[in-house]
Amino acid sequence: MKKHIALLPGDGIGPEIMAAAKKVITAISEREQIQLTTSEHDIGGSAIDNHGAPLPESTINACEQSDAILLGAVGGPKWADSTLRPEQGLLQIRKHFNLYANLRPVAIFDALLHASPLKESIVTNSDLMIVRELTGGLYFGQPSERRDGGNSVVDSLTYTRQEMVRIIDTAFKTALARSKKLTSVDKANVLESSRMWREIVEEVSQNYPEVDVHHELVDAAAMKLITNPTSFDVIVTENLFGDILSDEASVITGSLGVLPSASLNENDFGLYEPIHGSAPDIAGTNKANPIGMILSVAMMLKYSFGLHEPAKNIEDAVDRVLNDGYVTTDLKIEDATVLSTTEMTEKIISYLK
Ligand code: NAD
């Protein structure tokens, strides 16, 4: 198999964790007899500096020629007062490739149970996947404006049937590949959009009789995520609710640094990135945790290339490195050996089968 990956390191710790991803890609290529090639392109603040735009044409063209995109992180204080925002690069690339399905796995590592702000008895065995609609809803609806000379305001929540069907279908497929349990989150007691969402979940469920689906109101789901996270497996929800719930769920693991994500379109073309930002406070210090980035490589292998075994090889290596007591500075684990970004990357590679 031959695949080309566009690497977009971005800003802050982005280049450091992307260097880690690149080493893992090379190691996997050698071990698994897969030909994975890469090329690097600018996005975010570095693209503003080098090209005068957060998502230059050259980067779009390179991504179009690739089989998947890996992204580090964008943003930082350097561009705080710039009229061009680094984060626009991220929104533009999602829109350009129609990346409507955001997959955020949240699995607690046994070695990190103590790092969670929640009680060990609550988080043990937490392993869930949030499927969030990423390109519609309240964040994109028009009109969105101040009115009456600034005395009133409107934001619009719009979805088409097709936009709901495709993300809900992705969630059923995801549930089918996991424990066949799906929770659909909405606010059907108040919102018309949620009532339509619930109807469509019921309709789509007819195609997936093996999947056990139930509905949860978003307020109840938010409480349950921190009181009983193991009651969830796959969660599907619209853009705004997904944004909030996926960030809430991410704290369960105790570190932003270990979580990957995927944003996919209808052809399973995807952009893969860790969930954290560019961490300007530690950029350039070789302290960044590369695990979220490395697990994003594993998600890419699985979701875009169908390479399940190599993906599992990476996930198992990360798990065993943590179990053997190796961490980066962000993971406050007693008696653990603290490694730099480059040391952690080499350690994970040395644990690959
Ligand atoms: P952040 O995620 O960058 O950092 C929050 C805290 O977590 C910081 O203390 C940071 O040092 C730490 N941290 C994050 N990732 C880490 C890692 N891999 N290893 C160790 N520690 C890590 O969030 P922020 O500080 O709110 O945002 C910084 C910049 O990143 C802003 O410009 C923001 O807009 C941008 N941002 C980008 C993305 C993205 O590219 N997808 C996402 C969120 C924020």
The rounded Å distance from CA 275 to ligand 1 centre is 8
Q: For 289-298, what is the mean pLDDT?
A: 98
| Residue 100 belongs to a domain | yes
- In terms of domains, do 7 and 47 share one? yes
Is 224 an active-site residue? no
**CATH number for the domain that contains residue 30:** 3.40.718.10
pLDDT attached to residue 31: 87
Q: How far is CA 252 from CA 116, 128, 222, 327, in A?
A: 6, 11, 13, 17
Give domain status of residue 112, yes or no.
no
Residue nearest to atom 11 of ligand 1 (CA): 279
Q: Which of 139, 212, 268, 316 is catalytic?
A: 139
Exposed/middle/buried for 30, CB within 10 Å: 0-12, 13-18, 19+?
exposed
Q: What gap in Å lies between CA 50 and CA 323, rounded to an integer?
A: 42
Residues 292 and 246 in one domain: no
Active site residue 247: yes
Residue 287 annotated among the catalytic residues of the structure: no
283 vs 280: CA distance, rounded Å: 5
Amino acid at 240: L
What value does the mean pLDDT of the chain take? 96
* Cα 292 to ligand 1 centre (Å): 12
The mean pLDDT of 75-96, rounded to a whole number, is 93
The answer to whether residues 66 and 74 touch, using CB atoms and an 8 Å cutoff, is: no
In testing the pocket of ligand 1, which one of 88, 278, 287 has its CB within 8 Å of the most ligand atoms?
Answer: 278
Contact 2, 35 (CB under 8 A): yes
Q: Which range marks the domain in which residue 297 is found?
A: 1-107+259-353
**Structural domain tally of the chain?**
2
CA 169: distance to chain centroid? Answer: 19
pLDDT of res. 37: 96
81: annotated active-site residue: no
- Domain end, chosen from 253, 269, 304, is at 253
219 as an active site residue: the answer is yes
- Could you tell me if residue 96 is inside a domain? yes
pLDDT above 90: residue 264: yes
Same domain, 1 and 52: yes
Residue 206 and residue 312 share a domain: no
Establish whether residue 277 lines the binding site of ligand 1, counting it when its CB lies within 6 angstroms of any ligand atom: yes
174 within some domain: yes
| pLDDT for res 193 | 98
For 141-154, the pLDDT digits (tens) are 999 999 999 999 99
Q: How confident is the model at residue 333 (pLDDT cuts 50, 70, 90)?
A: confident
Task: Compute the half-sphere exposure of residue 63: CA atoms within 13 Å on the CB side of its CA.
Answer: 23
Residue nearest to atom 10 of ligand 1 (CA): 279
**Same domain flag for 284 and 205:** no
- Are 188 and 272 part of one and the same domain? no
CB of 74 shorter than 6 A to ligand 1? yes
Q: Is the pLDDT of residue 32 over 90?
A: no
Is 74 exposed, middle or buried, given 0-12, 13-18 or 19+ CB atoms closer than 10 A? buried
In short, whether 330's Cβ falls inside 6 Å of ligand 1 is yes
Query: Token pair for residue 110?
Result: 């046994």
166 and 91 fall within a common domain: no
Answer for the pair 14, 72: CB distance below 8 angstroms, yes or no. Answer: yes
Q: Does residue 154 contact residue 145 with C-beta atoms inside 8 Å? A: yes
Identified catalytic residue from 247, 324, 332, 353: 247
| Predicted TM-score (pTM) of this structure | 0.94
Q: Which residue among the candidates 3, 22, 187, 302 is catalytic per the annotation?
A: 187
Calculate the alpha carbon distances from 177 to 10, 233, 243 in Å. Answer: 32, 11, 23
Pocket of ligand 1 contains residue 78 by CB under 6 Å: no
Percent above pLDDT 90 for the chain: 92
The CA distance from 171 to 323, in Å, is 31
pLDDT, residue 317, reads 97
Helix ranges (DSSP H) in 52-191: 57-64, 86-96, 120-123, 161-177
Identify which of 134, 256, 341 to mutate to test ligand 1's pocket (most ligand atoms within 8 A of the CB).
256
Q: Do 248 and 265 fall into the same domain?
A: no
Q: How far is the CA of 267 from the centre of ligand 1 (A)?
A: 30
Q: How far is CA 190 from CA 84, 165, 194, 195, 218, in A?
A: 37, 21, 8, 8, 11
Exactly one of 243, 272, 287, 326 is catalytic; name it: 243
* Residue that terminates a domain, selected from 253, 278, 296: 253
Question: Alpha helix locations (H) across the chain?
Answer: 14-32, 45-51, 57-64, 86-96, 120-123, 161-177, 192-205, 218-227, 239-250, 291-303, 308-323, 341-350
Predicted pLDDT of residue 349 = 98
Same domain as 17, residue 87: yes
Q: What is the mean pLDDT of residues 19-25?
A: 98
- Between the CA of 87 and the centroid of ligand 1 the distance, in Å, is 12
Torsion angle defined by CA atoms of residues 314, 111, 326 and 311, in that order, rounded to the nearest 10 degrees: 0
pLDDT of residue 253: 86
Whether residue 239 sits in one domain with residue 272: no
Question: Considering only CA atoms, which of 215, 132, 91, 342 is closest in space to residue 224?
Answer: 215
Spatial separation of the C-alpha atoms in residues 297 and 274, rounded to whole Å: 10
Domain final residue pick, 209, 230, 253:
253
